[in-house]
Amino acid sequence: MGSDRAPGAAAPHVYLPRSGSTDFSVLHYDLDLRYRVATNRLDARATLRVRADVALRSIHLDLVHLRAKRVKVDGARPNRWTQSQTHLTVTPSGPVAAGDEFEVEVQYDGMPRPRRSRWGAIGWEELDDGVLVAAQPSGAPTWFPCNDRPADKATYRIRITTEEAYTVLATGELVDHVVGRGTGTWTYEEQAPTSTYLATVQIGRYTMEPRRSAGIDWTLAYPVAIARRVLHDFAPVGRMLEVFQELFGPYPFPTYTVVVTEDPLEIPLESQGMATFGSSHADGRSGSERLIAHELAHQWFGNSVGVAHWGDIWLNEGFACYAEWLWSEAAGHAKADTLAHRAHAMLSRLPRDLVLGDPGPDLMFDDRVYKRGACLLHALRLAMGDEAFFALLRGWTSARRHGVASTADFREFAAGFTDAALDDLFDAWLLAPSLPRLPAR
């Protein structure tokens, strides 16, 4: 299919011009972290298995606030390596041909902290008594050297050693946990391809409560002090897993983990196979139920099916927002159609300066991306009918499982599920700032 953009439209925005490279792909990250909560001290080694996608004389890895101490390429010292505030540049002893694979090992240390961005502070963040990592969209380099672009998915092994009193949760499945001499070492392995911004570490004094719902093993991790509120507010997760698998297809990962920190958080955070909430999201009155549904839905839309480019962020957030409305209806609350019309009325009162298909970096997390994206999906549902629409969603999560996709990919895919002409609908919602009407049923 051709370009999504209307004739004469402005060129697409550039979102993170200094993050990541298309010259190479990382196939696997092996991270060995030694971290002291008491002093916020990190000593680490990262080993990256890399494939050259073009002929290379050097590679540029994203690394922020941390100091590289030693670098090796295929076990030997490189010809040269240098470091700036945001990048580590490694020059191997000889040129690398396109298609060749090689290994880069970086030993590094420092006191990790978030990086400043137009979206606020993102990355590795100290809590009052622990750590969380919230990396979307460019915070991953605050804790490991990486190729920080969403389309470059890799597998992971993450090994973390810290004080024994703390529980460590990280991306992947727990494969080993040993305790000795006052420390605990936790090893996680993630076999599903994972974008750098979705890799995470959470450290805290957590009670771990394993559960199983709808055929999925999931874990609730929380501080004992807020147990009553957490157990009440997160009780619907099991039913959400059941409903979303009926609507979207099988849950795409082996397990799901919900972490609730003792610290309040402004917004919850999704990562691969995990979602992190603050104590502020557990009020004991189900005040964050829609957010709980939203973060779970990201496991299908955003994590398994990822975006190829940040300009397509509505494919993550519009779908997760629409999942909130679908959950509301399944739970016996307001129907999705009612919520869509409420959101449309709200959008009609807001400025019309956002193009959903390319909102630009300043607006990529604007609430209008979420609500307008969800309204687009409801308009598509009304145009296609329920049977075809939900067949589309299940087909999409299956065909693009553990991959990345663009808006053009979704438009082309949707056309295969209906005889209705959809181009005008997509163009109206995606390419112009004006607000289209929702179709009649």
Does the domain spanning 24-200 belong to CATH 1.10.1060.10?
no
Cα distance between residue 345 and residue 438, in whole Å: 10
pLDDT digits (tens, 9 = 90+) for 241-263: 999 999 999 999 999 999 999 99
Task: Report the sign of the C-alpha dihedral through residues 242, 245, 248, 254, in that order.
Answer: positive
Q: Which fold has domain 307-430?
A: Neutral Protease; domain 2 (1.10.390)
Q: Is 247 helix (H, G, I), strand (E, B) or coil?
A: helix
On the 0-12 / 13-18 / 19+ scale of CB atoms within 10 A, 11 is: exposed
pLDDT at residue 6, rounded to an integer: 41
Cα angle 386, 392, 394; round to 5: 105
Cα distance between residue 195 and residue 221, in whole Å: 23
pLDDT at residue 205, rounded to an integer: 98
Radius of gyration for the chain, computed over Cα atoms and rounded to the nearest angstrom: 22
Query: What b/e sequence results for 311-326 when a residue is b if at least 16 CB atoms lie within 10 Å of its CB, and e otherwise?
Result: bbbbbbbbbbbbbbbb
| Structural contact between residues 67 and 108, judged by C-beta atoms closer than 8 angstroms | yes
**Residue 243: what residue type?**
V
**255-260 and 269-271: which strand pairing?**
unpaired
pLDDT at residue 12, rounded to an integer: 77
- Domain residues of the chain, as ranges? 24-200, 207-299, 307-430
- DSSP bridge partners of 404: 306
Cα distance between residue 436 and residue 438, in whole Å: 7
Cα distance between residue 332 and residue 385, in whole Å: 21
pLDDT at residue 226, rounded to an integer: 97
pTM of the model: 0.96
pLDDT digits (tens, 9 = 90+) for 210-235: 999 999 999 999 999 999 999 999 99
Longest dimension (CA), the chain: 67
DSSP 299-336: TTBTTTEEESSGGGTHHHHHHHHHHHHHHHHHTTSS-H
Residue with tokens 């509505």: 314
Cα distance between residue 424 and residue 275, in whole Å: 36
Q: Which parts of the chain have pLDDT scores under 50? A: 1-9
**Residue 345: what residue type?**
A
Cα distance between residue 306 and residue 304, in whole Å: 6
pLDDT at residue 76, rounded to an integer: 92
Q: Is 146 helix (H, G, I), strand (E, B) or coil?
A: strand
- DSSP bridge partners of 265: none
Give me the CATH code for the 207-299 domain, please: 1.10.390.10
pLDDT at residue 4, rounded to an integer: 41
pLDDT at residue 10, rounded to an integer: 56
Other CB atoms within 10 Å distance of the CB of residue 332:
7
| Measured CA distances, 395 to 1, 216, 248, 249, 399 (Å) | 19, 21, 8, 8, 6
- DSSP bridge partners of 188: 158, 174
Tell me whether domains 207-299 and 307-430 share a fold.
yes
